[in-house]
Amino acid sequence: MNNSLRLGIDLGGTKIEIIALAPDGRELLRQRCPTPGGDYAATLAAIAHLVSQCEQQLGQHGSLGIAIPGTRSADHGRIKNANSTCLNGQLLQEDLQTLLQRPIRLANDADCLAVSEACDGAAAGAKTVFAVIIGTGVGGGLIINGQLLQGPNGISGEWGHNPLPWRSASDGEPRRCYCGKQDCIETFLSGPGWAVRSGLLGDARSLVQRAQQGEEKAVQAQQRYYDQLARALASVINIVDPEVIVLGGGLSNIAALYHEVPPLLARYVFSDQVNTRLVQARHGDSSGVRGAAWLWQ
């Protein structure tokens, strides 16, 4: 294996993306395919096909890191806490190593986002970074003094499975999260969660479009989302007090977040002024895939 070539895969709820990086971080190739929903065997096959296709095009083999929407348990090696629930309980690392005949490194997708953005992204140079994924699911990763925080349970930054703070009747009816708890932040701030709670037909993308067109109910749903995001982030700021919060994932592409949410933080952060910067991931909603590629660094 030529370890100078680094391959990274972002295993998302709706798409699987692969990237190939040169030793200096230059992007050599990027491809993606839809994620086979709810089908573990098909997901393994899709990953293997992307890797094979990529290496054939580049004419060499490389190291492989994978960003996953969950955590590999340090106790038994099986995946836990994945919102792509077909992964839970599976020996994903072992199965892929057998299939691809090479060692593989796994990390939570938000941790990969944090590594990427703190290294050469929107939070480069910051000592404390909270990296957020808002997409099919909601996750987070923490950089403290330049190092990825990895606790004994493998769940550092999992703010998406705390309850929404300062909840009121205006937030709507209670809803059960896939994790079994009720009213997790993920059920409000993920794309599917927001779409369901809006009471309107369509997905998150159509909600944004309809709000831009001035549809009253869509505008109201978007304003609620801004405030719910501010509350959820404020609870993190009150504990960690990061210099920078980086947003990644599909919903991070909503440009209005970066001027609508910061003023709302002041309502909930326990400070006379909020100095934490809220920024979009420099490497876009695929930033996590770069962090996956650097897992072998």
pLDDT tens for the chain, 297 residues long, are 445 899 999 998 889 999 999 988 899 999 999 999 899 999 999 999 999 999 999 999 999 999 998 899 989 999 998 888 999 999 999 999 999 999 999 999 899 999 899 988 999 999 999 999 998 889 999 999 988 898 888 899 999 999 999 999 999 999 999 899 999 999 999 999 999 999 999 999 999 999 999 999 999 999 999 999 999 999 999 999 999 999 998 899 999 999 999 999 999 999 999 999 999 999 987 788 999 998 887
In 10 A of CB 17, how many CB atoms?
21
Q: What is the CATH number of domain 6-111+287-296?
A: 3.30.420.40
CATH architecture of 122-281: 2-Layer Sandwich (3.30)
pLDDT of residue 294: 86
pLDDT of residue 197: 95
pLDDT of residue 146: 84
- 108, 125 Cβ separation under 8 angstroms: no
The segment(s) of the chain belonging to CATH 3.30.420.40 are 6-111+287-296, 122-281
Q: Are strands 71-72 and 79-80 parallel, antiparallel or unpaired?
A: antiparallel
- 140, 160 Cβ separation under 8 angstroms: yes
- Model pTM? 0.85
Residue 293 C-beta-side C-alpha neighbours within 13 Å: 28
Cα dihedral 191/196/197/202 (nearest 10): 80
Give the integer Cα–Cα distance in Å for 247 and 279: 6
What b-and-e string marks burial along 29-66, b requiring 16 or more CB atoms within 10 Å of the CB? eeebeebeeeebeebbebbeebbeebbeeeeebbbbbb
pLDDT of residue 2: 47
The pair of structure tokens assigned to 273 is 């002024």
pLDDT of residue 136: 86
